[in-house]
Amino acid sequence: MSNKVYLVTGAAGFLGGTVCRKLVNSGEKVRAFVLKNDPAMKYVPREAEIVEGDLCNLNSLEQLFRVPENSEIIVLHIASIVTVNPEYNRKVMDVNVGGTENIIALCKKYNVKKLVYCSSTGAIPELPKGNVIREISHFSAEGLKDCYSQSKALATQLVLDAAKSGLDASVVHPTGILGPEDFSVSETTKTVIDIINGKMPAGIDGSFNLSDVRDLADGLIAASEKGRKGECYILGNEVVSFRDFSRILVNQAHCKKIRFFLPIKMAYTMADVLEKRAKKTGKKPLLTKFSIWNLARNNVFDYSKAQKELGYNPRSYEETVSDEIAWLKKTGKIV
């Protein structure tokens, strides 16, 4: 009988939950680390052993790592605070960077066999359009536009430094996440629901790079088995324009078309007005310059390294959207 145990942080999240389900369905032993009293805890598969705690609390993390003697420990560190607000946030840094530092310390203390850190393509500096963005070997917060990306870059470098000092650790960089079983309804899933329900009167003439959550989970698990020590792997997909993505949704869900797409320049102007108004009212703006930038930026990522070394193979947007729509209907999130 295998003595392998997977320690999964962020197990109540979209990606973490999918990873846990895949592991338990394969008969693996899983310990799921979740925040205390997290309402999404109920979505963690019942076969997984739940450990409640905080990445910033070493004592609670110790409970996660205390497994039966002679266990072969695999750590999949997925947990982080994700924010679309680009401004500096101390809590984001404490959790995403400090929490990762704690994970690394305990990986060394408990002699784990493998650590896989889930970073983000946001941690990789953007290149001008016309260039393909590939893995890099050194990370810094310098030049990155938002706090989340900066925190992921700093945490990624901590992991790579630990690999140089002996820890068997690999890093994966997912692009955006799409797909079924997003129980907490992320921003991307909310956008899909709004388009289907006709609540998005206009789109923006930009693009994005979204990967099926199931493919990302497979890639992350594969990195724990095949990922080379100290190496990074982009887990991405082909770029899709907002226009083309909305067409896929219309064809699959038979919903109303988005009739108008704002040019990027016009969208920036509108976002500037809405942000200024939001500062006066204290309300969240409907559109921000940072959200426009994410659609205007270069979203072309090369994931061939993950294909070659991990067997990563992203499915089509059509298949993902079809499965997501079926799940949204099944759970009553759309009619």
Cα–Cα distance measured from residue 216 to residue 177, given in angstroms and rounded to the nearest whole number: 8
pLDDT for residue 282: 85
In contact, 176 and 161? CB cutoff 8 Å: no
pLDDT band at 243 (very low <50, low <70, confident <90, very high): very high
DSSP per-residue codes, 158-189: HHHHHHHTT--EEEEEE-EEE-S--TT--HHH
In contact, 182 and 189? CB cutoff 8 Å: yes
Over the stretch 89-109, which tens digit does the pLDDT of each residue have?
A: 999 999 999 999 999 999 999
Output the six-digit token pair for 325.
Answer: 């729509």
pLDDT for residue 306: 98
pLDDT for residue 333: 93
User: Residue 1 pLDDT more than 60?
Assistant: no
Over the stretch 44-65, which tens digit does the pLDDT of each residue have?
A: 999 999 999 999 999 889 999 9
What 3-state class would DSSP assign to 281?
helix
pLDDT for residue 335: 81
Residue 90, C-beta contacts closer than 8 angstroms, at least 6 positions apart: none
Output the six-digit token pair for 79.
Answer: 């947990």
Residue of 19, 17, 80, 21 whose CA lies nearest to 219: 19
Q: Name the residue with tokens 């939950």.
A: 17
Mean local confidence (pLDDT), 116-133: 97
Over the stretch 131-171, which tens digit does the pLDDT of each residue have?
A: 999 999 999 999 999 999 999 999 999 999 999 999 999 99
Residue 116, C-beta contacts closer than 8 angstroms, at least 6 positions apart: 74, 75, 76, 77, 169, 170, 171, 172, 220, 223, 224, 227
Mode of pairing for the β-strands spanning 176-178 and 210-212: parallel
**DSSP state, residue 287:** S
Over the stretch 281-324, which tens digit does the pLDDT of each residue have?
A: 888 888 899 999 999 999 999 999 999 999 999 999 999 999 99
User: Residue 36 pLDDT more than 70?
Assistant: yes
pLDDT, mean over the chain: 95
> From edge to edge, which strands make up the β-sheet containing 49-52?
49-52, 29-34, 4-9, 72-77, 114-118, 169-174, 232-235
Output the six-digit token pair for 40.
Answer: 């999404």
Cα–Cα distance measured from residue 184 to residue 288, given in angstroms and rounded to the nearest whole number: 23
Output the six-digit token pair for 26.
Answer: 């394969």
